[in-house]
């Protein structure tokens, strides 16, 4: 009976370790999803810069967000490795773990795509602000040239 009790305790200990590992995975997945949800809110923001300097600031701010997203890839890979290890070792929760990991991967991929789209929008807006500045500079240059040039009627009266 002692051997049987020891065996049952060993089995229970293994099941508890498996349950703990699964719960840690679920907690880590929930934290990853929460972090990505926060980042998604930033990515969906519709900041509208009014001038070139603020547009440049928005682009730089977005670059910081994209770098944080790239850095977070390591966390996503660790989560994927953990889930794959449990699946490979026939964890009782393998199916749920696989589904949850697929959700995390899909959310991360969507966030990266959203970041790319936002980067393009911000860069396009920056180019538009730069073009507006160049047009304003050109208009001012033209106005300055008109002011300095005598009217054509002056040229006729002075030459005759």
Higher-confidence position of 44 and 99: 99
Evaluate whether residue 157 is within a structural domain.
no
CB-based contact 21:81 (threshold 8 Å): no
Domain that holds residue 74: 2-141
40 falls within a domain: yes
- Reduced to 3 states (helix: H, G, I; strand: E, B; else coil), residue 12 is helix
Section 97-114 average pLDDT: 96
Q: Look at the chain and report how many structural domains it folds into.
A: 1
Per residue in 46-59, pLDDT (tens digit) is 777 888 999 999 99
Question: Exposure pattern of 14-44 as b/e (b: 16+ CB <10 Å)?
Answer: eeeebeebbeebeebbeebeeebeebeebbe
150 located within any domain: no
35: CATH: 1.20.58.60
pTM above 0.85, yes or no: no
Q: What is the pLDDT at residue 39? A: 94
Tell me what pLDDT residue 148 has: 65
């Amino acid at each position: 009976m002692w051997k049987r009790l020891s065996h049952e305790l060993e089995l229970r200990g293994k099941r508890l370790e498996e349950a703990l590992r699964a719960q840690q995975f679920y907690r880590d997945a929930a934290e990853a999803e929460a972090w990505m949800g926060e980042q998604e809110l930033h990515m969906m923001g519709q900041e509208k810069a009014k001038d070139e300097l603020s547009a440049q600031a928005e682009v730089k701010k977005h670059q910081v967000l994209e770098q944080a997203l790239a850095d977070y890839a390591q966390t996503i890979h660790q989560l994927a490795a953990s889930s794959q290890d449990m699946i490979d070792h026939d964890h009782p929760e393998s199916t749920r773990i696989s589904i949850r990991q697929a959700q995390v991967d899909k959310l991360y991929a969507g966030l990266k795509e959203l970041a790319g789209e936002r980067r393009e929008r911000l860069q396009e807006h920056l180019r538009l602000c730069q073009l507006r500045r160049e047009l304003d500079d050109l208009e001012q240059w033209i106005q300055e040239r008109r002011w300095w040039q005598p009217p054509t009627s002056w040229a006729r009266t002075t030459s005759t």
